[in-house]
Structures are given as structure tokens and as C-alpha cells.
Structure 1
Amino acid sequence: MKNLNIKIILPALLLLTVVSCKKTYLDAEVLSKYEPTNSLTNLAGMNAALAGLGAQTRREFFDDMAPIITEAIFSDVAVDGTTDKSTQAQDMNTRVTPEANLNSPDFNRIGFYWTEGFRGVRFANTIISSIGNVTFKNDAEKNAILGAAYFYRAYYYYRLVHQFGDVPLLLQDLTTSKDDFYSTKREVILTRMQSDLKFAEQWVLDGGNKGEVTKGAVSHLLTKVSLALGDFDGALTAANNVLNGGKYGLMRTRFGSTAADATKNVIWDLHRMDNKAIAANREALFLVIDRETLLGFTPNGSQVMRNCVPAWHFTNLKTPSGALQAIVDGVTAEIPLTLMYGRGIGRYRGTPYSTKYIWTDNTDYRHAPGMWMNMTDLVYNNPAIKTGTNVSERALFGKPLVDVTPANVNNMFLNKGTDTIRHFFGWPHYKTFINSTNALAVDKYWSPPRGTNTDWYVFRLAETYLLRAEVYYWKGDLASAMADINQVRSRANATLLTDPSTITIGTILDERARELYYEEPRKTELTRMAYIFAKTGKPAYNGKTYTMSNFSDVNFFYDRIMEKNDFYKNQVPTISGVNFKISPYHVLWPIPADAQRFNINGRINQNKGYTGYENNVPALDKIP
């Protein structure tokens, strides 16, 4: 098969098993030996190792409380909606510390990014260090493998330095245990990644199996890395290589398995599980592939419906009088909302900014009826309403939910006071609905369905346009920035922007929020932008300027969140007694304490705002 790399599954699985035995003190647990692998001696082994990295990358978007949610809740677009627990990352000041549980669905997934980020780096280094063990037919074949490994290493380091700041730099495979790591400056790491990506851009090819690294993906990542370095000309060149090369294009006409469904639009087609990896889809730059026959398959699936859909089935949600439960769960219900929209628990709770304020255009496909769901689009389906003794409420059965108002909120959420956080908000049905080949959410592994196995976009051309728009913004070319934003808006049938003078970084962030739900690592991108503002001194749209000298105390990341995220801004209380809070120093996450504890002969610096910062030493400013 051309679209899916099936043949390398078994060797990749074996390699992943071997490489996973490699452990260092960078992991947030007691680790010791790091054994070299003997599997990378031919081209098949190299391709297997790259497939293992693809499986590694997939993990960010899958499972209950998928790690990508932690990226979202440290931003303007979402908070953790699990309000019946007091352990979640809601009051960041008390719940996010170096010693806290940093890798659990009932806490947060910061530790996942630390451990899995460096695991990805080590997998890539194993390939890079073993490249001389293989006899290739020519340099092009060798350099394509090397370039793909460089891509993965740069992918993980791009994330690590915008999540944790200065971190240890590993450029070679480790053959012995190591406990003397030192932090390296973020700019030094990014400069090396930029150099590697420029090499990869020359040698990695397009047209391979879906899920493999593409030339477009390399240039897309190079755009991000160059932006992070303040190399705006380099970022423009890299973005142009993707957008002007003719290989890729925004999907503007109906396509794939759902093209004939007149009730939907091209945005619906773009996000169908069986359309993401087909050859007709020219928008996908980099995908993670999820099939039962592929490496690392798990029946846990994406669980995106469980994570992102409101907990509408809880008994908390009542009829307006408070007499009866409004909606019942169940795949056999007369009106099976569970199968029509998925049954959620509201872990990813969109903010009013991301669910309401940015949606001002009623022509936008992304917010059209049937695409975007509001709670008032659901109906009362509890059979007890239809047969109950409350005559005035019998007529509610099958009718849309009444909206929450100050007058009825206590009745509608009778059992839990006024908790609408978890149970009453809008969501992008076109993104979260993962179904089989029919119109219902049939999940062979979970009942009620949580969101079955599906491919997922990591890089998509719509983001490349928004990245180039950002490059133009930093360069002061607002007309070109507006033109690129309008490329994305026109495909979504949204009203085009007409006044370049109104374009700010906020305009771009708003469009990213509309387009890249559950795709972009929002915290990473906000921190990257905060660094650029601090390094350039360019005034933000809020009139403020920033500097690197007090980056963890005053930064654009925090100001943006406090402007747009009402939960943090107003320190909204939850029913568990926790108030939503966030601070400027959360621009960088804490280094897990275990990573420092077992690094006994070195020093991995802690970020300002967390215990241990006082013991920092100067980070390395060059590569040894």
C-alpha cells in the first residue's frame, strides 16, 4: 500500500522494544542503563526506527486526558473542566510544582512531555549515531534517513525549549549511564536544530508513505524554529518552500468519503477519520497514523470525544424546573445523543473566548449549524420527561435544551449548585466526532463511545499560512500578513479581512484558535511568541513591551491569558473548592524534581518561580 507503511510494523515494534530499554537520568524516574541497539544495520531497520518515532509522536493526541490538553489549559483557549476533583491543574500555583504528580490524567501531563520528549530525542539520536553502520545505495538514500531523524530530534527539541526553557542538549546516542547533564541555552539548541533542518530540507522527499516525514513537514518545522530564533527572513524562506512549491494546497472543494453529504462542507471532509491520509488530501504535511495493523496500536483510541465534549449526560443537568435529568446516556436511547455526538466528560473545557467571542461571522463553515455544537443544539431525551407527571415539562422531550440563565441556573444544575463549567459549553463537532463508516459514533472498543482510533494532523498547510502571516507581522508587512490569514478564512467561507492596519499578533492567534483546535500546541506557541516579544522589544497590541531580563515575571504569555481566559482572569471557583489561577512564571513549566535528583554530577537548571531555582548555574552557551 502506498498510503500506509504496513511492511515495517514488526521490525519497528521490535526496535521500539530495544530502544525503550535505553534510559538516562533525564527521565523522571530512577533509571540506569542505556544499552545500544544492534538493530540498525540495514535500510529496513532504519525505516523501522523512523516508524517507531512516528508511533512515539502519536501518543500526544491519544488516550484519556491526552497530553495535548495540558498544552491547551496553559493558554487562552481552555481550562481543565474536571471540576469534581481537586487535583487537576486548575490552581496552577499550588498544583504545578517540581515535586507534584506531573503525569496523570487526574493531575496534568507536564511530565509526559519531559520524559517522552527526551525519549524522542534519544530514539532520533540512535538513528543518527548508527547511520554509519548501514551500507546505502547512494548518499541521497542515506541523507534522506538522516534528514528524517534530524526532523524528529528538532521536533522534540522545539517543544522542550518552549515548555521548559533551557534543557540538556543531546546530540549523540548514549552507550553508558549518564548523571552529569547540564542545561544548554535555548538559543544554542534552536540554532543547532535550524542547521539540521536545513540539511533535512535538502534531502527528505515528498511522496512516501502516509505518516512518514515529508519535505513539507521539514520546511514547516524550520519555519517555526526560525521564528523562535527571530530569523524572520529564514522563516519566510522556509514557509515559501511549502506554500509556493506546488506540492501542497488548501482543500477548498469537497472530497473523500463524505463529499456527497450536502448537509456538510469541506471542513467536515477535511477532518473525517478516513479522509486525512488519502492521496486526494493535499493539505496534510505531517500525520500520525492510527490503525489496528500498525505499530503501537492501542484500543484506547483517540478518546477525543470523551476529552472534549461536555459532560451533558451527568445527573447534574436538569430540566428547567429541576425536576428531572435532562439527558440520559445510552446507545439504545430513543434519541441516542451518545451516538450522534459522542459522550464526553469535559476535560477540555473551552473558554468563552474560544467558544463564543471569536465567532462573530455567521458564514464561517467552522461555526455553522451541524459543524459546531452548542448545548442548545442538544435535545431533552430522558424518557422520564415524556412519561412523567410534570405536564408542563412533557412537551420538552425531543426539544432543544433551554439555555442557562441567571434565573434558571440553580434549577438546571440542582445537585451541584451553579456548576456549568463542565456541563454547558460549545465544541467543534467536526473536529471531535470520530465515527465508523456510518453517521453514528460506533466505537468497537468503548461503549459508550469515546472516539475510536483515527489518524490525526500534526502539521497542516492552514497552519503554514498562519505561520507565514506571523512572519510578515514581525517584518511589518501587514498587507501580506492579512492576505495569508484570508487564505484560511476564505476556505472556511468567513468574511475576509480588509484593513491591514488592524492586523496584530492577536488577529493571528484568533485565527489559530478557530482553525487549529486540538492540533496546535497552544502553550508552546504562546511561549514562543512571548520570547520573540521579549527579544525584539516590539510593542504588543496591548501597548506593552517586554524584555528577557524579567521574562518569568512579565511576559506576553501571561498577559494574553489574563486578557482572554475568563476562568483565570476571574479566578472562577470550582465545585471542589479550587479556584482557577495562573501566574507569569508558568510561561515555562517546572523541571520534574526527579530529573534533577538523580543527575547527581551535573545541574539541570530549574525555572524561575519553582523551588530549586536558587541553585541554578549558568547554562551552557555553546555546544561542547
Structure 2
Amino acid sequence: MRIIHDIKTHLVLLVVLLFSAGCEDWLDPKPLSFYTPENAFQDYSGLKTGTDMLNRDVRYLEFYPTSLSADPAYLSELFFSDIAVNGRVDDARSPQDLIRQITPSANLRSGTNMARCHFYWEALYKGIKDANTIISRSEFAEFDSEEHKKEVLALAYFHRAYRYYRLVHQFGDVPFIAEEVTEPRYDFYTTRREVILKQLKADLDLTASFLPEKVNAGMVSQGAAYHLLTKINLALSEFDDAVKSASAVIDGGVHALMKSRFGNASGYDDPTKNVIWDLHQTENKASAANTEALYVVIDRYDDESATPVGLEIKRQVLPWYSYPGQLKTPAGENGFTDNNEIKNPYLAEYGRGIGTLRSTMYHQKQIWKLDDTDLRHDRKSGNWMHVEELKYNNPSLEGKSEWYGKTIKEALEAVDGDITRICSDSIRGWVGWPNYKVNVPDQKTASWRGGNADWYIFRLAETYLLRAEAYIWLGQKDKAMADLNEIRERAGARPLAMSEVTIRQLIDERARELFYEEPRKTELTRISYIYGETGITADNGATYSMTDFSEKNFFFDHISAVTDFYNKGVSSSIGNEYTMGAWHVLWPISESAISVNVQGHINQNVGYTGYETNVEPIDHAN
């Protein structure tokens, strides 16, 4: 298979120059150390290398931790959502009591078991700085053709839009910088979110068509640009335009949903597996046969640019079933061993989780009540697993306990459904997981965490869901139903009736289809903005306004309605109570980013210390 050999060539050319860019806070007054554009950005080759590095940074942004001591930043998107909470109940730093822990002065950058809000701020602005440098330098570079120049500009505008789209739905109004910054600055001002989004829309409207429709693995396709444009159109409540940009991808003739089995991944010759399994196996994501992939980041263990740790997705998502004493027999015997796959074969088969990403009942059960045929929640094929299906396999039980070889489900029945009799910590040890998604092997160590693997950033299934959402806002439920059912029928789920087509159903379908793919907090905040700006009555009967957005919003009301953790009196073993406030619809901006900006003014979000000094944000792009 061809694996981005062009990227590797450029990496060798500029790795020394680029590495110094680091991840410093762009809005801190530090020398801007992006590699010397005077030397590197003189022609197409040098500029294209810069866009390749922006691609690399998308990979590093959230899914792949940079060391064993850091959790993926992506987990924070799920902790601030309806999908999951932090399950590490033995660490006081765990982002669980969000009201107390999430503040402008807190360490929200890096480390094990930390919320990574400020990390996103720094990493996203670093990418914006780099994209602006490429845009600026392309005006003076030499190109062999106008098409090369257009391609470079389209890639730079895509990456800038990708990052700003995330920033304005993580933090709201933020500084908008559209030019190359060549020296330290202290004069940034906050710009209105809508102004930023309109500029992003104008940029992509102009340049999306400049990108090729078919690309090598790991590159940005034209479909990816129109997909991102669709999200921006939705964020602006430009629903007709959202339909058009989504349709450019869906009806363009290049991309199609994968509906038949494909690829050569593990399990392909297993008749119990299915297309849902194939779609999410490592070897198949960037396969030329996969017409559903719009934008995939590449991470191969045997490639020189592989991330040092990999995904670690098993470690994050699976419950800590193997921890001694976590799951017991009804007689109180330890059911499993840890750190030994000979004694506990489940470690190699499924992985060794520690329950950091603890799914809520919303994700575990509520969204699957429509039917029992959905392959995304199917236990018979092994797509979905639950600890109750595991069989006690501790060698010390063999020949001595009646429970050896019996399932935990049988044990649960024996104790009349009292989970506490057989599970010492139901937060961390009693949960199910989508095995078809987290089935990522370790290549280099027997730690069973989930190693190097490609991952979807955008794929066509989400484009269908984005267009369905636009149709719902437009009141065209028949068309929305057709798009939703394309996704559901591929998964073996029953089709929805017209009466079931709502924004809540759309949100549920996103949870069913896009677990550990979509930035869940970002998308819930985007939908909340739409409700606040349009005044459309939500499915819960409430209406919302932008005048008190951080005090009353759909984001908080929806999570409150479906969560079994936040604000329900649930506490960890060391006393952290799971709490969330309505203002968490937006994250706090780091105190340090605000305080060093002495010649300007960066606003703080309402609900956090410092918002009292806010000034009117800029209402124009230039």
C-alpha cells in the first residue's frame, strides 16, 4: 500500500527546522520560532512541506498522547459531554468536579489524568500561526503553475479553518489573527465568533474546489474541505448552504458509504463479522478500497513518523476488569489476574483498560433502545462487549471454585443483580465498550493499551448526518429521514419513521455512529449556539437566547437530562463529586494568556473569574 511517501520526503527536508516550533502558547509574548520561512517557503516544495506539517499536527492534536504520562487531549471533549465522564476515581486531579476544578488558573494543559482545555488553546493557535505564515509567504513564492499555488492556499485555509472551528466552539469569542506574525505581540483583542465563522466560510467557499478529489492516504481531500465547510455553514445557521456543501461530497461521485465487507484486516474471513467491523479496523481506514474516508491521519508503527505512544485507546475506554479484586465471584474470590496474558488471555484479546473514559448510561443503553439489531451495539458478533460476558479465568480458581469458567452475568444473577456484591468499583469496572472501534493491537510492548493505528478525522457517514441536521433545521424531515436511514440501515438498524426525526434523534445517531471520532463537546456547543441564535424550540420544549447563553443553554439541559453522573450526587472513592455548570458550554481561557496581553484585551467567558472586565469584542474580520 502507498503510505504518504511524499510527506516522508518533505519531513526529512525540514524536520530540524520545524521541530523548534514546539507547542508554546502563541498568545504568550515569546519569540515566534516557526521555521525560517525566508529560506523554506520560496517555492511549491517548501510550502507544501509546511502544509504537510500542519497535517502532522492534526494527528498530534488530540488522539495520540505524546508520552505514557499524558492522556489524549481528545478525552476532554468527551468529559464535557453526554457520552462519558472521567472514571479515575483514585486520583484527586481527575476532571470530575468540573465546577471546582475547571478554572482559568488551573493546570489544564498536560499531564496524566488532567483536563486539556488550555492545551487545545495553545496547540490550535500554534497551527493557526503556521497556516497564516504559509498563506502570507505564498504571495511571494515561485510556483510552476497556478494550480500549485491554489492547492497550497486551499490547504492552508483548510487547516486554519479546522482550528478556528474548534476554538470558537470550545471557547466562543476568541482573538482572530489572519496575518503572519513575525515578532512578539501583546495587543490581541477578542473577535466575535460569528465574524470568525463568516471569514472561514468565505475562505473555504473560495478554495475548497482547489483541492484534489482523490488523494494519497493521510492527505486532505476536496471532500474533507466541503465537509468542514458544512460544519461552518451549520454553525452560521446557513442551512441551505450546509445542504449544498454536504451534497457536494455525498453526490460528488468520489465517495460512498461502505456497505459491503472489504479489506484484509483481522476478522475479514470470519463470517460472524460484518462491514461495521471492517470499517474500523486499522488496516482498512486508509485503504484505497475505503470510499467512505474523507480525511484520515496516518500512524504506522513501522513508519519513521509514527507517534511514540500510539493511540492507547484500549487503556482509555475499557473498564479495569483485570485489576485484582475489581471483579469477584459471589464467594468473594478474585476473578482475574493483571499484567499476565497467559493467566488472563482477555488482556491480549480485548486489552487492558483502566476505565479513564467511563461511558454514561446514555451511551451504554439509552441510545440503543430503538431496536436490538444495530450492529454497532451487537454482542453476538463481538462488535460490542460488556464485562458481564467475561468468564472468570483466574488460574487460582481452577479446580477449587465452582465459578471458574462461568460468566460474570451468571454471577450477577446469583446475587440477585446486586453489582456491589461482585464489583468493588462499578464506575471503573462495570461497563461495556465498542470492541469494533477499540480493537487496536499493540505492536511493540505487551501492555495491551492499543498501539499505532490510523484514525478517521472526517468520514462520509458524518457528512450524511450533517446534511440530515441541516434538513431538520429547515423543516424538511423527509429528506433528513432518508439521510439518517442511510446510516442506520448500513448498521442493520431499523429505519426511522418521520415522527422520530428530531434534533435529539440526530444527536443520538451521532453518538451511535461517531464514538471516539467526533469532537462531542464541540458539536453539542455548536448545536446549542444554533438554538440560542435562532430561538427555535428544542425537543425538550425549551427555547434559548444568546443574552444568557452561559447561564441557560441546550448543552447543559441536554447533558443534565441524560447523564447518570453530573449533578446527581455521584462521588468518586476519594470524594470528588461529579458536577457540571451551564457555563461549561464554553471552556475558560487561561489566565496566563490573558494577563500577558498587556496592550490588548482577551475576554474571559462568563462564569469564570475575570469575565467582569470584558469589553465589546471586535465585530469585523480585518
TM-score (norm 1): 0.94
Q: Which moved more, 1:91-100 or 1:567-576?
A: 567-576
1:106, distance to aligned residue in structure 2 (A): 2.2
Relative to 1, partners in 2 of residues 1:287 and 1:55: Cα closer, same or farther, differing over 3 Å? same
Structure 1's 16 and 345: CA in aligned 2 closer, same or farther, altered over 3 A? same
Q: CA deviation at 1:27?
A: 4.0
Match of 1:11 in 2: 10
The amino acid of 1:424's aligned partner reads: W
Partner Cα distance (1:295, 1:173) in 2: 31
SS in 2 for 1:83: coil
In the TM superposition, what is the alpha-carbon distance from 1:515 to its structure 2 partner? 0.4
Do structure 1's residue 166 and structure 2's residue 178 form an aligned pair? Answer: no
AA in 2 matched with 1:396: Y
Query: SS of the counterpart of 1:79?
Result: strand
How far did 1:362 drift?
1.6
Structure-2 residue corresponding to 1:463? 462
Counterpart residue type for residue 440 of structure 2: I
Once residues 327 and 528 of structure 2 are traced to their aligned partners in structure 1, the CA distance between those partners, rounded to angstroms, is: 43
Q: CA deviation at 1:330?
A: 3.7
Task: Name the residue aligned to 2:271.
Answer: 262
Alignment counterpart, residue 198 of structure 1, candidates 205, 219, 225 = 205
Contact 1:226 1:232 survives alignment (8 Å): yes
2:533 is matched with: 535
Contact 1:97–1:590 (Cα < 8 Å) also in 2: yes
Quick check: 1:56 aligned with 2:57? Answer: yes
Which one of 268, 284, 292 corresponds to residue 275 of structure 1? 284
- Asked whether 1:381 is paired with 2:385, we answer no
- Paired letter, 1:371: N
Alignment of 1:116 with 2:123, yes or no, is yes
How far apart, CA to CA, are the structure 1 residues paired with 2:450 and 2:612?
Answer: 45
Task: State the match for 2:100 in structure 1.
Answer: 94
Conservation of the 8 A alpha-carbon contact between 2:423 and 2:430: no
**C-alpha separation in 2, matches of 1:143 and 1:407:** 63
Residues 456-502 of structure 1, C-alpha deviations (whole Å, 9 max, x = no match): 0000100000000000010001111111100000100101112x133
Residue range with higher mean Cα deviation, 28-37 or 163-172 = 28-37
| C-alpha displacement of 1:599 | 1.1
Distance 1:101 1:480 in 2: 46
Counterpart in the other structure of 1:484 = 483
Alignment-derived partner of residue 300 in structure 1: 309
Q: Deviations over 1:79-131 (max 9, x none)?
A: 01111111111110011000001023322111221011101111211211111
Find the counterpart in structure 2 of residue 71 from structure 1: 77
Question: Which has the higher mean CA deviation after the structures are superposed, 358-367 or 249-258?
Answer: 358-367
Give the Å deviation of 1:396: 2.8
Which SS does the other structure have where 1:274 is aligned? helix
User: Could you say what secondary structure the match of 2:336 adopts?
Assistant: coil
Deviations 1:512-540 (A, max 9, x none): 00000000000000000000000000000
> Could you tell me which residue of structure 1 aligns to residue 363 of structure 2?
354
Secondary structure of 2:355's aligned partner: coil
- The percent identity for this pair of structures is 42
Contact 2:214–2:221 (8 Å) recurs in 1: yes
1:440 paired residue number: none
State the partner residue of 1:438.
none
Distance in 2, Cα, partners of 1:469 & 1:184: 30
User: How far off is 1:573 after superposition?
Assistant: 1.0
Report if the CA contact (8 A) 2:227-2:463 is conserved. yes
- CA distance in 2 between partners of 1:483 and 1:245 (Å): 18
Alignment of 1:548-567 (within 5 A): 548-567=546-565
Matches within 5 A, 1:378-527: 378-388=390-400, 393-397=401-405, 399-401=407-409, 402-403=411-412, 408-414=418-424, 419-435=425-441, 443-498=442-497, 500-527=498-525
- Counterpart of 2:560 in 1: which secondary structure? helix
- Relative to structure 1, the CA distance from residue 434 to residue 408 in structure 2 (aligned partners, 3 Å threshold; closer, same or farther) is same
SS of residue paired to 1:253: coil
Q: State the one-letter code of the partner of 1:501.
A: S
Q: SS of 1:8's equivalent?
A: helix
**Does the CA contact (< 8 Å) of 2:329 and 2:403 recur in 1?**
no
Normalization by structure 2: what TM-score? 0.94
1:412 maps to amino acid: I
**Could you tell me whether the CA contact under 8 Å between 1:254 and 1:269 is conserved in 2?**
yes
Change (3 A) 1:15 1:599: farther
Deviation for aligned residue 1:17: 4.9
Deviation per CA, 1:36-63: give whole Å up to 9, x if none. 4221222222222122111110121112
How far apart, in 2, do the equivalents of 1:29 and 1:228 lie?
Answer: 29
SS at match of 1:111: helix
Code of the residue aligned with 1:366 in structure 2: it is R
**Structure 1 170/23 Cα, relative in aligned 2: closer, same or farther at 3 Å?**
farther
Q: Whole-Å Cα distance in 2 between the matches of residues 407 and 257 of structure 1?
A: 41
Query: 1:133/1:20 Cα in 2 relative to 1: closer, same or farther (>3 Å)?
Result: farther
* Displacement of 1:386: 1.1
1:549 partner SS: coil
Residue 384 of structure 2 aligns with an amino acid whose one-letter code is W
Separation in structure 2 between the aligned mates of residue 619 and residue 12 of structure 1, nearest angstrom: 39
Contact map agreement 2:127 2:159 (CA 8 A) in 1: yes
**Root mean square deviation of aligned Cα:** 1.9
AA partner of residue 88 (structure 1): S
Aligned to 1:367: 377
Describe the superposition over 1:428-463 as per-residue Cα deviations: whole angstroms up to 9, x where unpaired.
00000102xxxxxxx233322211100000001000
